[in-house]
Structure 1
Amino acid sequence: MSFQDQIRSLFVEESQIPEEFRIEEIHQREYLCNGEMKKWDGEVTEVYSPVCIPGPDGLTRKLIGTYPVGTEKEANEALEAAMAAYDNGRGEWPTMSVEGRIKCMEKFVYKMAEQRDLVIKLIMWEIGKSYADSSKEFDRTVDYINMTIDALKDTDRQSSRFEIAEGVVAQTRRAPLGVVLCMGPFNYPLNETYTTLIPAIIMGNTILFKPPKHGTLVHYPLLKAFQESFPKGVVNTVYGRGANVTPGLMATGNINVLAFIGSSKVANDLKKRHPKINRLRAVLSLDAKNAAIVTKTANLPLAVSECILGSLSYNGQRCTAIKIIHVHKDVADEFLKLLSEAVAKLNIGMPWVKGVNLTPVAEPGKPAYLKECIDDAIANGARVVNENGGTTVESFVFPAVVYPINEKMKLYREEQFGPVIPVLPFDSIEEPIEYQINSPHGMQVSIFSNDASETAALIDPFVNLVSRVNINSQCQRGPDVFPFTGRKDSAEGTLSVHDALRSFSIRSLVAAKLNDTNKQLINAIVKEHDSNFLSTDFIF
């Protein structure tokens, strides 16, 4: 049996799929707006899984459901609902006490947990992520929400006291910014989306939430949890083609924060649509071409192990993936040999297979694009080093290790976002430094070296070129308490549990001259709990 036939045999008939992982079609005919689950009877989009099913016409993507294709009309209704709920900062949600908002969020987490099994199944089927990674995404998201709640409690406790300076007494707290347009990515449709959505909500903002193109149905089971946990108009969904519904929203000038995870091109276009750019805060996680640097002193088995994880976890469909590897010429042959052997040992299969490492890629056009990148590299002097590299059957692409990469190739600059590992040789450590200087991206780098002076010589320039330098380990986002950002076209704003709360709020203070009249006034307000802002309440 050829390797291509082996891959084809991974796609099995539905009767061969374990019953606990089978999915029934979900046809979404409602959306959340102004506290109501509104009925939808308009155009819908069909959702096809990257998992193919064999049939009389060969392999075909399985239909798993449909969802609404909203228009500008519904998007504008959602915006009006969010604006009414915010009410220029006077609405129920932005004026609610921190303790009150936390209780609503705790209610949401409880209701979210009830949908765990269905959401995990939808992640698997809609974007082809393994059961283990889909489960991890859900559980990590719940942990993130709980950490966000704890971080807000801590922030509020620090703000519960008054400060006195130069005869002025003041209390400083964090206040919401307004209406947030939140748009998440397909590769972590739940986790990455919620790392902006949850802090934006809990800080008192009202939300327009547009699910990603792939991974839309993932959110459907959670809409009722939003509806039942928060006041009406706090969370509103926007469906439809992004190019049709989002530019108009931005053009109104009524979006206060753009929270977007995706391409810098789309982010730039959306920001330009806003007529009052100085009023817009952007929290963006964008393109990345994270590099690994393998020096001649590196522990090669360790470097290979981490580069495999970094470049091929979820088929390389991660903004934090290692997308190009610089390897010293003296160890290039040995590194490529070990890397090819490691790729060959990876488990291939469908998302429900226990221990699977490689699954079908999510985007329908991705296999063709990856082939184009590989063919372009070969035409410009590279070769596919590993056996069976680049073998493709429908939505499944076996990883290709491509070497030697040079500046003429697409893989040198373009973010492939898939299971292709470009490797280029270097003589001097100045070469990978120059590569990063000239790159439009600046998210992370991984350095593999056992020489202290050599590592230090790379750390010092790279901390000023990227936002995170990883030593003898893969590029990654976590732990979630660490800052997550980037330079150049890779990010705007910083995300982490604590940073996200700051990103979606602004410090506001109440101040007064310290005289007897003001002392009595402030004491009376605090004693009677007349203000949710001016308060010494301490949340445990």
Structure 2
Amino acid sequence: MNFHDQLRELFVAEDQIPEQYRIEEVHQREYLSNGELKKWDGEVSEVYSPIMMPTTEGLKRKLIGTYPIGTEKEANEALEAALAAYNNGRGEWPTMSLDGRIKCMEQFVYKMSEQRDVVVKLLMWEIGKSLADSTKEFDRTVEYITATIDALKDIDRQSSRFEIAEGVVAQSRRSPLGVVLCMGPFNYPLNETFTTLIPAIIMGNTLLFKPPKHGTLLHYPLLAAFRDSFPKGVVNVVYGRGANVTPGLMRTGKINVLAFIGSSKVANDLKKSHPKLNRLRAVLSLDAKNAAIVTKHADLKLAVSECILGALSFNGQRCTAIKLIFVHKEVADEFNTLLGEAISKLQPGMPWTKGVNLTPVTEPGKPAYLKECIDDAIANGAKVINEHGGTNAESFFFPAVVYPVNEKMKLYREEQFGPVIPVIPFESIEEPIQYQIDSPHGMQVSIFSTDAKEISSLIDPFVNLVSRVNINAQCQRGPDVFPFTGRKDSAEGTLSVHDALRAFSIRSLVATKLNDVNKAIINEIVNDGDSNFLSTKYIL
């Protein structure tokens, strides 16, 4: 049996799937708006899994459910609900005490955790993520929320005092910005989405949440938790085709913050739709073409191990993935041999298979695009150098190492977002530096070397070209307490547990001249607890 057929045989009949991992179709006929789960009887979108099933007509994607295709009407109703809940900063949520908001968020975490098994299973079936990674995504998201609550308490403790300067007494705190439009990505539809959604909510903003095209159904089990945990209108979920519903929301000028993870082109178009750009704050995580640089002084086994993790975790469908590897010519042959051997040991399989490393790719058109990129590279002088590289069986695409890649090829410029590893040989270190200078992207780089002086000579130019330099390690987002951002077309704003809270808020202060009358007024307000802002309460 050839390798193509071996990959096809990984798709098994439903009765061969362990019972605990089988899925019943989820047909969503309600959506969350203005504190209600409203019934939907309009058009729906069918959700087909990248996991395929043998049928009499061959392998077919399994239908796992449907969800509403909302229209501009429902989107505008959700916007009005969010505006009413914010009420120009006078609503229940933006004026609530921080302690009150934290209690609501803790209730949400509790209710969210009750849906863990359902959400994990939907992650597996909707986007083809392995059981281990799906479980990790859910648990990491819960940990992120807990860390966000702790960070907010810490920020508030630092703000629970008065400052006096030049005869003026003041107290400064962080206050909300208004209505946030939050749009997450398909590759981490829960975790990445919640890294903007959670800080936006807890800082007192109200929210419109547009789920990604792939990874929509998994949010359905959480709608009741949102409804029951927060005042009405604080969280509203917008369904429908993004091109139909989101530009109109932006054109109203009533969106105060755009939180978007996706392509820079879509982000640019959405921002341009807003009539008053000076009023719009954007928190964006966008395109990336992160490079690894393997010098002649690298520990090649370590470099290969980390590059495999960086390039092929979740099939390379990550903005932080290593998407290009520069290798010094003196070690290129040995590196490529080790890389091919390591890939041959990776286990392809279904998401529930124990120890699986490679699963079906999420997007239906991705295998064809990856083949197009490889064909283009071959036409311009490259080869696929690993055994079985680029073998495609329906939604399975076995990783391909393409070498030698040059500037004429798509793989040199375009973000492949899939299991293809372009390798570029270099002689002078100026070559990868110049690549990064010319690149429209500027998220991260990984440098592999055991020579401290060589590493130090690369750190200084690269920290001014990308936002994170990884030494002998893959590119990655975490830990979540570290800043996560990018230069050029890769990001706007900074996300981390602490930075995200600041991104979705603004410093406001109450100040007065320091005299006996004003001191008495302030003391009375503080002692009587009449203001949630002007307060010395200390949250432990």
Same fold (TM over 0.5): yes
Aligned to 2:531: 531
- For 1:18 and 1:123, the matched residues in 2 are separated by 17
Aligned to 1:122: 122
Q: Encode CA deviations 1:364-418: one digit per residue, 9 max, x unaligned.
A: 0000000000000000000000010000000000000000000000000100000
Aligned to 1:7: 7
2:412 matched to 1:416?
no
Aligned to 2:370: 370
SS in 2 for 1:259: strand
2:244 matched to 1:234?
no
Aligned to 2:453: 453
Q: How does 1:396-411 map to 2 (within 5 A)?
A: 396-411=396-411
Aligned to 1:81: 81
- For 2:443 and 2:58, the matched residues in 1 are separated by 41
Aligned to 1:354: 354
- For 1:27 and 1:222, the matched residues in 2 are separated by 15
Aligned to 2:49: 49
Q: Encode CA deviations 1:113-165: one digit per residue, 9 max, x unaligned.
A: 00000000000000000000000000000000000000000000000000001
Q: How does 1:482-493 map to 2 (within 5 A)?
A: 482-493=482-493
Aligned to 1:384: 384
- For 2:343 and 2:64, the matched residues in 1 are separated by 31
Aligned residues between the structures: 540
- For 2:303 and 2:44, the matched residues in 1 are separated by 47
Aligned to 2:214: 214
Aligned to 1:67: 67
SS in 1 for 2:535: coil
- For 1:349 and 1:260, the matched residues in 2 are separated by 32
Q: How does 1:273-284 map to 2 (within 5 A)?
A: 273-284=273-284
Letter in 1 for 2:367: P
Aligned to 1:256: 256
Q: Encode CA deviations 1:276-309: one digit per residue, 9 max, x unaligned.
A: 1000000000000000000000000000000000
Query: In the TM superposition, what is the alpha-carbon distance from 1:228 to its structure 2 partner?
Result: 0.1
Aligned to 1:113: 113
Aligned to 1:192: 192
Aligned to 1:157: 157
Q: Encode CA deviations 1:324-382: one digit per residue, 9 max, x unaligned.
A: 00000000000000000000000100000000000000000000000000000000000
Aligned to 2:442: 442
Identity of aligned residues (%): 83
Aligned to 1:17: 17
Aligned to 1:337: 337
Query: In the TM superposition, what is the alpha-carbon distance from 1:452 to its structure 2 partner?
Result: 1.1
2:94 matched to 1:94?
yes
- For 1:437 and 1:462, the matched residues in 2 are separated by 9
Which has the larger displacement, 449-458 or 238-247? 449-458
Aligned to 1:464: 464
- For 1:345 and 1:180, the matched residues in 2 are separated by 45
SS in 2 for 1:275: coil
Query: In the TM superposition, what is the alpha-carbon distance from 1:457 to its structure 2 partner?
Result: 1.1
**TM-score normalised by length of structure 2:** 1.00
Query: In the TM superposition, what is the alpha-carbon distance from 1:110 to its structure 2 partner?
Result: 0.1
Aligned to 1:223: 223
Q: Encode CA deviations 1:52-76: one digit per residue, 9 max, x unaligned.
A: 0001011000000000000000000
> Mind listing any 5+ residue stretches in structure 2 that lack a counterpart?
none
Q: Encode CA deviations 1:81-118: one digit per residue, 9 max, x unaligned.
A: 00000000000000001000000000000000000000
Q: How does 1:24-39 map to 2 (within 5 A)?
A: 24-39=24-39
SS in 1 for 2:324: strand
How much is the aligned-residue C-alpha RMSD, in angstroms? 0.3
Q: Encode CA deviations 1:508-539: one digit per residue, 9 max, x unaligned.
A: 00000000000000000001110000000000
Q: How does 1:290-305 map to 2 (within 5 A)?
A: 290-305=290-305
Aligned to 2:394: 394
- For 1:109 and 1:63, the matched residues in 2 are separated by 30
> Mind listing any 5+ residue stretches in structure 1 that lack a counterpart?
none
- For 1:9 and 1:394, the matched residues in 2 are separated by 11
Query: In the TM superposition, what is the alpha-carbon distance from 1:453 to its structure 2 partner?
Result: 1.2
SS in 2 for 1:60: strand
SS in 2 for 1:200: helix
Letter in 1 for 2:236: N
- For 1:4 and 1:244, the matched residues in 2 are separated by 39
Letter in 2 for 1:165: A
Aligned to 2:104: 104
Q: Encode CA deviations 1:179-230: one digit per residue, 9 max, x unaligned.
A: 0000000000000000000000000000000000000001000000000000
- For 2:306 and 2:472, the matched residues in 1 are separated by 8
SS in 2 for 1:197: helix
**TM-score normalised by length of structure 1:** 1.00
Aligned to 2:287: 287
SS in 2 for 1:381: coil
Query: In the TM superposition, what is the alpha-carbon distance from 1:170 to its structure 2 partner?
Result: 0.2
Aligned to 2:519: 519
- For 2:21 and 2:315, the matched residues in 1 are separated by 21
- For 1:57 and 1:323, the matched residues in 2 are separated by 36
